[in-house]
Structure formats: C-alpha cells, structure tokens
Amino acid sequence: MDLAVLPVVVILLLTYLAYRLKTQITFWSDRNVPSTGVSLRQKRDYNVHIARSFQKLYHQFKGQFPIAGIYLYIKPVALAIDLELLKCIFVKDFQYFHDRGTYYNEKDDPLSAHLFNLQGTKWRNLRMKISPTFTSGKMKIMFPTMIAAGKQFGDYMNEKVGKGTELELKDLLARFTTDVIGMCAFGIECNSMKDPNAQFRQMGRRHFELPRNRLKDSVCSIAPRFARLLGLRQNDPELSDFFINVVRETVDYRVKNNVHRNDFMDLLIAMMKGDTSGQDPLTFNEIAAQAFVFFVAGFETSSTTMTWALYELSLDQDVQEKGRKCVQEVLDKHNGEMSYEAMLEMTYIDQILNETLRKYPPVPLHFRAVGKDYQIPDTNTVLPAGTSVMIPVYAIHHDPEIFADPEKFDPERFTEEEIRKRHPYAWTPFGEGPRICIGMRFGMMQARIGLALLLRSFQFTSGEKSTVPLDFTAKSFILSPEQGLWLRVDKL
C-alpha cells in the first residue's frame, strides 16, 4: 500500500470517531430531553450507593419530562420518572421492552445465560418453560423443605441465644436462605446453619462480595458485542466451576438412581429430558444456568429483606409486638403448626415485609432495553432501539409525594385501603409485567417463614454493638447494611 494513503485513512477514521462521539454526547439534547449532559469530570461518587445517586437525579428532573437523560460514561440511559410511563414500559408497551440489556456471554460463561439476562425469543421460550416451576402448587410441594431449613435455623437460634445475647443477623439470615435455596434448587443439604463456612455459603458470599472490575463492567455494558468478542465474562471462573460441578453431580446421581425430590432441580431435569409438554428439551448448560440464577437471585434478596425488617422492628417495639401477635393468633388457629395455609394468613407480617421492601428494595433499580424505536407517549421524543432504560425504584419508594414521610417505617401503608389509594406502579420491588420476578412467591414465603419463626420465640432490641442508623454498603448493588446487623436477642 502506498504510504501516502495512510494520513487519509487516519483522518477518515478520526472524523468517523468524532462524528460518533458527537452524536453520542448530544444524544439527549438532540431529542429535547432534559439531561445531565456528558461530563467526564462528574464521575459518580463510588462511596455513595447507586440507589442514592439515582435518587438525586430523580428529584433533579422530576416533573419536567417523563424521563431524564443521563449518561453512564458516554452511554445514554433513559431514567424513567413518570409512573404512567412505567406502566407503558412494564406492561402496555412490553413488546418494545422485553429485554434488560444486561450483559451475558453464553459461549465463555455459560452460567450467565440465565432467565434474568436472556433476551428476545430465547427469554420468552425459557420463561414459558420455567413458569410452571413457580406456581402455588409447586410452592406447596416445596414448602416442607423450606420449613425443614427453618427448623435448623430455629434450633441454631435456641442454642445460641441466652439472655441479652448479641448476634449479627445478616449473615445468619443469609445462611438460612442459602439452606432453603440450596435444598430447593440443587437438592443439597448445604448445612450453612451448622457450618458458617459451608461451601454454598462461601460461594454465595464470594458472588456478592468479590470486588467488581469497573473497567470490565463498563466495557460489557457499553459495548457488549465487543466484550463477547474479547470473551469477557461476569462470573468468577472458580465460582462457575463449583456450580457447574454441583449441578452435574446432582443430575447424574438423580438420573442414574431415578431419584425424585419434588424440587426445582427435579423440574429442570424433566425439562432436560424433554418430558414436559412437547417443548424443546433444555441442554445441561441451560439447566445449570437456571439453577444458578435461582440461587443468586433468591438468597441474598430475601435475606436482606428480613435483615432490614428486623432492624426496623428493633427500633419500634409496638410494631414488633403487633407482628408477634399476628403470628401467635394465626398459629393458635392452626394448632401451633406453621402450615402453608397458616403462613398465607399472616397478613400483618406481609404488611411488615412489604413496607420493608418499600423502604429497602433489595434491587434498587430496574433495567430495560428498547427493542425497537419507541415514541414516548404524548411527546415527540423517540428512543432508538438499543437505548438503555433504568427505573429508579428506590427513589420512587422514597418520594414524599408518593409515600408521605418516606423515612418512617409504617406497615399501615399496606392495608388494602391504603394500597388502593396509590398509583399501581408506585411500589414495584419485584418489577412488574411479563418480566416480573419469577420467584416473588417463593421469596415472600421464605421471608415470611423466617420472620414468623423469629418473632414467635425471640425479642429483638438494640444492643451495645448495634449501629443506628444503618447505612447501605456501596460495595454491593443489592441494598445491604454496611456493618451487618447486630442486635440484642432475648428468648421469650
């Protein structure tokens, strides 16, 4: 090649890049959307939880336009603000918003190809196949397993708690939900209650506590195709090997010995063998990825919910007593037995949990990606296909115009009457629409069991080691208390 051409090529390339950059940084102003603008200086403060950073943006822009235009580095993101727009995104115009746009890499990181990350028809087919796994009928079948894990938890507490014992509850609750999900999704006795360093618990901790690589995360989020080309993966290889091996051993054992346990793994294996309603069978990697997502999506969300609930109850003995009375009354009606039916009658416990999920939504942001060009209703703004959308759940749940006196913990917000007074999309800790959390009932049930079991036998108050107020750790995306939860526990 004639070297004289080189400068021309370089100039053309630079012109193209400059043009791309220009359209990128004027993305929102070109569409008349109020926006923060790109500022490479205005970097996010990584000591503040992202829920709070987005809350600030929400209030800065609320009332101007249905969305606010923000940039993550140079990637434009539509922050949905208006509740009517949420309804469109979640439900009415779901056909434009069926993907989350989160990164996954099926080839190099098979466990990442799970229901939460999958897109388009792949997601739709899998969701259809998996949904029957989460019906109330299946829940009822798994209920005794949940109660068995609850019993181990209760035994542990009885053994540890004397008078005025101080305990760190966040880890204990995570051990309880690890045991529940380990049993239900993998059919494995994890024993994390008896052994704090049980392997499943260690792996769970590792998944949520491993420091993130921000550069890698940004590449995956801004240029997923490029990231796949590079073979970038989100899951730590050691963690991934552990789960794949566990699933392989479990599947081999069950298939060889024809063992059935009435749990998620049974249902997944049936789908792999193709003996469910004539649909395409799932591959081994596909069922491993689903078992994995049940685990990571299922234990930490529910355990932090219970953690925050106990924190609030330790600060308000009246609400705690009312919760305890609810448990006792229902159990008295059911011969003292924590049956499936009894759990569903504990309305005030649900009010406590729902108020906890309002004040501390474990997943503080929801994600969607625009699938085809979408005109925001009643505006001239068109969001082109590929645009990221984020929904600031935490900010909405703390908006005083939606929930008066938002920092006050008040289960009375969840009486039928109060719920009716609110916009139906004001409270969405599980998301909404066809992509709503598939494990909602399961998560609520294990949280109900844990809380009922604890309130029945123990009293929780602040102790010497307690921290008030508790702040969020900025290290984890899931809302989780910075220093764990130390409380004084007394046997009743």
Q: Which does 112 bind (CB under 5 to 8 A by kind): ligand NAG, ligand HEM, none?
A: none
Residue closer to ligand HEM (CB basis): 93 or 488: 93
Residue ranges binding ligand HEM (CB under 6 A): 115-116, 127, 293-294, 297-298, 301-302, 305, 362-363, 366, 429-432, 435-439, 442-443, 447
Helix-strand-coil split of the chain, %, nearest 5:
55, 10, 35
Beta bridge partners of 17: none
Residue 350 binds ligand NAG, judged by CB under 6 A: yes
Nearer to ligand NAG, 202 or 347 (CB): 347
Q: Which does 414 bind (CB under 5 to 8 A by kind): ligand HEM, ligand NAG, none?
A: ligand NAG
DSSP tag of 19: H
Gap between the Cα atoms of 474 and 479, Å rounded: 8
Among the listed ranges 155-163, 273-281, 343-351, 358-366, the one in contact with ligand NAG (CB under 6 A) is 343-351
CA 356 to chain centre: 14
Please give the Cα distance from 238 to 219 (Å, whole number).
22
The reply to whether 354 sits near ligand NAG by the rule CB under 6 A is: yes
Which residue stretch of 97-105, 134-142, 217-225, 348-356 sits at the interface with ligand NAG (rule: CB under 6 A)? 348-356
Nearest residue (CB) to ligand HEM, 114 versus 228: 114
Select 303 or 320, whichever has its Cβ closest to ligand HEM: 303
Question: Of residues 199, 347, 467, 476, which one binds ligand NAG by CB under 6 A?
Answer: 347
Which of 261-269, 338-346, 350-358, 452-460 is the region at the interface with ligand NAG (rule: CB under 6 A)?
Answer: 350-358
Q: Report the nearest approach of ligand HEM to the CB of residue 163 (Å).
A: 32
> C-beta of 353: minimal distance to ligand NAG in Å?
7
49: its two tokens: 């939880």
Asked if 432 is part of the footprint of ligand NAG (rule: CB under 6 A), the reply reads: no
Is the four-CA dihedral 92, 78, 106, 302 of positive or negative sign? negative
Q: Over the range 156-177, which residues count as b (16 or more CB within 10 Å of their CB) and which as e?
A: ebeeebeeeeebebbbbbbbbb
- Cβ of residue 82: shortest distance to ligand NAG, in angstroms? 22
- Closer to ligand NAG by CB, 198 or 447: give it: 447
Q: Which two tokens stand for residue 309?
A: 């609930």
**Residue 187 interacting entry, from ligand NAG, ligand HEM, none, C-beta within 5 to 8 Å by type:** none
In the bound state, the residue with its beta carbon closest to ligand HEM is 431
Using rule CB under 6 A, residue 345 touches ligand NAG: no
Kindly tell me which of 78 and 357 has the beta carbon lying closer to ligand NAG. Answer: 357
Nearer to ligand NAG, 224 or 424 (CB): 424
201 vs 397, beta carbon nearer ligand NAG: 397
Rounded distance between C-alpha atoms, residue 389 and residue 369, angstroms: 6
Among 153, 299, 414, 458, binds ligand NAG (CB under 6 A): 414
The binder of 381, among ligand NAG, ligand HEM, none, by C-beta within 5 to 8 A per type, is none
Least distance in angstroms from the C-beta of 350 to ligand NAG: 4
104 binds ligand NAG (CB under 6 A): no
Q: Which is nearer to ligand NAG, 419 or 474 (CB)?
A: 419
Binding site for ligand NAG (CB under 6 A): 347, 350-351, 354, 414
